[in-house]
């Protein structure tokens, strides 16, 4: 049911890593999406501008994916209440924890940040428990 796709995963990861490297060496910033979102909501153009542009880039990539094959942006089987709860948790948690899978997982671990190591262990554990519990209670998507 779930095909094992290590090569596209590796390649996709490499692209993510490359992009984060360009952001670091080009803009001197950390490419953490949750930070982009928080920062984009600020009022100073110096802080919000480049972040909004990055997010626009994400949307561009999504548009290209839609043109290629909408299945690339696969559907979610969760109900609206679950999506609201999940979204709130993600928004709250990433802001409180100052990072997400890209900020802590990719950028933080790449520079050996102890905060990121702790964060990654925490969100991975919570993610596994959450997904496994939901799978048991609701059935796999």
Partner 1 sequence: MTRTRTWLFSLGCGTLFGAGLVLSGMTQPAKVIGFLNVLGDWDPSLMFVMLGAIAVHALAYRLVPRAKRPLLADTFAIPSRRDIDLKLIVGALLFGAGWGLAGYCPGPALVALDTWRPSVIVFVLAMLTGTLLAGRLEHWLHHRNRRAAPASTAPHGPHPIPEAAAQPRAAGEANGVR
Binding residues for partner 1 restricted to 47-76, rule: CB under 8 A: 47, 49-51, 53-66, 70, 72-76
Query: Does residue 6 belong to the site contacting partner 1 (CB under 8 A)?
Result: yes
Count of alpha carbons within 13 angstroms of residue 34, beta-carbon side: 21
Provide the mask over 76-105, with x wherever binding to partner 1 is found by CB under 8 A and - wherever it is not.
xxx-x-xxxxxxxxxxxxxxxxxxxxxxxx
Query: Does residue 113 belong to the site contacting partner 1 (CB under 8 A)?
Result: yes
Query: Does residue 137 belong to the site contacting partner 1 (CB under 8 A)?
Result: no
Q: How many residues bind partner 1 (CB under 8 A)?
A: 122
Can you tell me whether residue 29 is helix, strand or coil? coil
Query: Does residue 43 belong to the site contacting partner 1 (CB under 8 A)?
Result: no
Minimum CB–partner distance for residue 125 and partner 1 (Å): 7
N- to C-terminal Cα distance for the chain?
Answer: 11
- The gap from C-alpha 127 to its chain's centroid, in whole angstroms, comes to 13
User: How distant, in Å, are the alpha carbons of 18, 63, 124, 127, 131 from that of 11?
Assistant: 10, 20, 22, 23, 25
Minimum CB–partner distance for residue 90 and partner 1 (Å): 4
Minimum CB–partner distance for residue 76 and partner 1 (Å): 4
Give the Cα separation of 132 and 55 in Å (integer): 31
């Amino acid at each position: 049911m779930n095909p094992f796709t290590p090569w596209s995963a590796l390649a996709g990861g490499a692209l993510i890593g490359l992009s984060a490297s360009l952001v670091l060496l080009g803009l001197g910033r950390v490419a953490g999406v949750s930070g982009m979102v928080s920062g984009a909501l600020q009022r100073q153009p110096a802080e919000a501008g480049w972040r909004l542009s990055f997010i626009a880039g994400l949307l561009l990539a999504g548009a290209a994916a839609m043109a290629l094959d909408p299945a690339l942006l696969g559907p979610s089987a969760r109900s609206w209440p679950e999506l609201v709860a999940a979204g709130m948790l993600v928004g709250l948690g990433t802001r409180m924890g100052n990072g997400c899978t890209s900020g802590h997982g990719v950028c933080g671990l790449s520079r050996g940040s102890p905060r990121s190591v702790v964060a990654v262990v925490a969100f991975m554990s919570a993610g596994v428990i959450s997904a496994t519990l939901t799978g048991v209670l609701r059935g796999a998507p």
